Structure 1
Amino acid sequence: MTTSAAYADFAAREAHGVSPTYERLALAVSRDDALLALLDTLPPAKRQPNLLFGVVRLLGGPVHDPAAFRDFTESNWPAVAAGCRSRATQTNEAGRCAVLLPVLAALPQPLALLEVGASAGLNLYPDRYAYRYGEHRLGAGGPVLDCDLTGTAPPARRPEVVWRAGLDLNPLDVTDPADVRWLDALIWPEHARRRERLRAAAAVAAADPPSLVRGDLVDDLPALAAQAPPDATLVVFHTSVLYQVPQPRREAFAQVVRGLPGHWVANEAPQVLRYEGLPEPPDAALRNVLALDGRPLAWTWPHGQAATWFA
C-alpha cells in the first residue's frame, strides 16, 4: 500500500466517525505530494498517521488546520523526522481492559499477567479499574471504563492478579512526566474522556509501578514468562501491537507463545493475526479480533469502547 493510500485508508476506516480532526488531516496528507515525499524518506513502519500526528503534537504543532499542519511539518521536518524515527505508537489505552476482562475473569484464578508491547503498562491493572457495561457496574473508584458489550453476559468479577510484568522495546515510565506527555500526545484531539482516563490510569500505575522489561517479544519472552509464580495462571496478552512487527517475527512470536504454559490472549486486527471462518464484522470500520489460545471470540473496537461477541 502506498503512503497516500495508507493515509486515505486511515481516514476512512479509523478516524471516520471517531476523530473529524484526524479524518480531515489524514485526507489532506494523502493528497499532498510534498508531504508524501517527505514521509517516504522514512522507513515504512515510521510513516503511519498516528505516529506522525503524535510527534507533531508533541512538538507543539497544529493538527486542526491541515494547511497549518503542513507548514509546521515542512518547516520543522528534521525534528519531526527524528521524532518519527525514534518513537513508536505506544498508545497505552486502559479502556482496552474492558474488552479483555470477560476473558481474564473466566480463566482459572489467580493470574500472572505478562503483556507484550506493554508501553507504560496501563493494561496490566484490569483488577484495579472500575467497569460499566451498560447498566452493569463492576468495581469502585477510577478510572471507570465504559464498554458496549453484546453477544455475551458482562463479567461478574474482576480477576485476581498476583504478578504482572510487561515486555517492550522501549518501555515508558508513568512516573516520568516526559513519557506521560508522549502518551497524551497520542490521544486523538477530540477525546477528552480518554485523556482524563489516561491520567487516572497513570495514577493507579504510578502508585504501584509495574515491572517493565526492555526486550524483544520473541527473544526475551520465555525468560520473562519463567519468572511468573508457578501457582498462578500465566496469561500472555497483547492488544494492537503486532501490526508494528514484521510478518516473520509475528509467526515466530506465535510459535514461542504457544509453547509457553498458561494462556494466550490476542486483540489484533484480522489482517495482522488471521483466523479462518471469521464472521462478517459489524461494519467497515477498523475492528480487532479478540482471541483466546488462537480461537477468535469477538470483534472489538480499537479503544475498548465496544465488543461484539460471536463465539
Structure 2
Amino acid sequence: MDAHTSRRYHAFADWARSSSPIYAEWAEGIAGDDELTELISRLGERRGQPNLVFAAARWAGCGLEPFAVWRDRLVAEWDSVASITAQRRTQTNEVGRCATLLPILSRIDGPIALLETGTAAGLCLYPDRYAYEYSSPAGEGLRTIVPAGPDAVRPLLRCRIDDPEALPENLPDIVWRAGIDLAPIDVRDADAVAWLETLIWPGSVHDDRVGRLRAAVEVARADPPRIVLGDILDRLPEVAAESPPDATLVVFHSAVLLYLDADERRRFADLVSALSERVGRRVVWVSNETAGTLPEIDGRMPRGVDSTGSFVQTVDGVPVALAGQHGATYEVSPFRS
C-alpha cells in the first residue's frame, strides 16, 4: 500500500463525508486498498487528486455505485481512467463563488476591469450578470439583487451572510474582463462543458450547482470571455497592462494557489503586489484560498478563527471574511474588531 495516497484519500473522505457520502465511501475504500493506492500513486501528485480520479472514473463509465461494485469497474477501466487524468484537469469553475465576491466588488469605485487568474471557462467573470439572494444564517431574507434585462437563463446565487452591513448594495460596473489559464475551457465546446458538470460532486447538497453551471454557461456563451492561454506567473503583467487605464483593475482567484508550490505562491504574491506600480493605477487583489496558502495571510488571521471547509478571503493580503467554497456562506464577524 502507498502510505501517502492512503492518507490523502482518508483526509478527502473526512472532507467529503457531510456533502457527498458516496465520494467519502469511495475515498475510504481506496485508502484501505493496496492495489488502488499503488495504481493512484503512479499517476503522480496532480493526476492522483481524488477530485480528478473520481471525475475521470465517472467520465469513463464507472457509475455511482457502492465501493465494492465501483471498485471492480474502476480496475477494469483503469487504463481509460489514467488516460483521462493525463488529458483533463480539476477546473470546477464554481459560479456560486460570485456571491462571496460581490460584497467586495460592490464597494470598489468603478468602472472595474476584472482579471481572473486560473479562470477555467471564465464563468466567474460575470458577477454583474447574475442574480443574488442573501439571507441570514437563520434563513431570513435580507437582500435580493437582480440585474436588468431578461432572466431566462440567468443563474440565481444564494448565500447566507452573517452581518447585514456586509451586504452588497448593487452590482459592479464592469467594463473589461479577462482570464488566464493553463488549459482554457471554451464555453462553446459541449464536451468541455460536460466535463465541468462531471467535476461537480454527487450528493443532494450539490444538485443546485449543476443548474447554476448550465445557466452561467449560457450567459458566457452570449458574450464569450477572453481567456489567455498560459502560466499566470508569466502572463499576468502583460494581460493586466491591457486593461483600460481609467478602470480600477481587480485581480482575483479562488482555489488556484493550492496548485502552486511554496516558491510559486511567493512569486505570485510578489507579482500581484507590484502590479499597481507596473500598470500605473490602482489594483485590488482579491483572494479566496484555504488557510496555509501564504504564511503572511495566516499570520494576520484573528486568533481562534476556524476556517475548516471555507476559503479565507483577503483583500490586498488582509483577511476580511470566510467564504464558503461553493459560495453558500459568507462570514465577516470573526474579522470585525
Q: TM-score range by the shorter chain?
A: over 0.9
CA contact (8 A) 1:58 1:181 kept: no
CA contact (8 A) 2:64 2:70 kept: yes
My pick for the range that moved more, 149-158 or 108-117, is: 149-158
2:227 to 212, 224, 244: 212
Deviation at 1:3, TM superposition (A): 1.3
Total equivalences in the alignment: 309
1:2 to 1, 4, 17: 4
Q: Which amino acid aligns with 1:263?
A: V
Q: Which amino acid aligns with 2:134?
A: Y
CA–CA distance in 2 between the matches of 1:273 and 1:17?
27
CA contact (8 A) 1:92 1:121 kept: yes
Q: Which residue of 1 aligns with 2:250?
A: 235
Q: Which residue of 2 aligns with 1:246?
A: 261
Identical columns (%): 44
Q: What are the superposed Cα offsets for residues 178-213 of structure 1, whole Å, 9 maximum, x if unpaired?
A: 100110000111222110110000000011000011
My pick for the range that moved more, 194-203 or 142-151, is: 142-151
Q: Which residue of 1 aligns with 2:129?
A: 128
CA–CA distance in 1 between the matches of 2:60 and 2:94?
21
Deviation at 1:145, TM superposition (A): 0.3
CA–CA distance in 2 between the matches of 1:84 and 1:248?
25
Q: List runs of 5+ in structure 2 lacking aligned partners.
A: 136-140, 277-282
Matched, 1:167 2:180: yes
CA contact (8 A) 1:25 1:64 kept: no
In the superposition, relative to structure 1, how do residues 273 and 69 fare at CA in structure 2: closer, same or farther (>3 Å)? farther
Matched, 1:202 2:217: yes
CA–CA distance in 1 between the matches of 2:4 and 2:103?
38
Deviation at 1:277, TM superposition (A): 3.7
TM-score, normalised on structure 2?
Answer: 0.88
In the superposition, relative to structure 1, how do residues 37 and 173 fare at CA in structure 2: closer, same or farther (>3 Å)? same
Q: Which residue of 2 aligns with 1:76?
A: 77
Q: Which residue of 2 aligns with 1:297?
A: 320
Q: Which residue of 2 aligns with 1:226?
A: 241
Q: Which amino acid aligns with 1:162?
A: V
Q: Which residue of 2 aligns with 1:108?
A: 109
My pick for the range that moved more, 200-209 or 42-51, is: 42-51
Q: Which residue of 1 aligns with 2:138?
A: none
Q: Which residue of 2 aligns with 1:270?
A: 291
Q: Which residue of 2 aligns with 1:86?
A: 87
CA–CA distance in 2 between the matches of 1:281 and 1:95?
23
Computing the radius of gyration over CA atoms, which structure comes out larger, 1 or 2? 2
Q: Which residue of 1 aligns with 2:159?
A: 147
The 4+ residue runs of structure 1 with deviation greater than 4 A are none
Deviation at 1:282, TM superposition (A): 4.8
Structure with greater proportional helix content: 2
CA–CA distance in 2 between the matches of 1:188 and 1:116?
23
CA contact (8 A) 1:120 1:171 kept: yes
CA contact (8 A) 1:95 1:305 kept: yes
Q: Which amino acid aligns with 2:286?
A: V
CA–CA distance in 2 between the matches of 1:281 and 1:77?
42
My pick for the range that moved more, 4-13 or 63-72, is: 63-72
Give the CA RMSD over aligned residues. Answer: 1.4
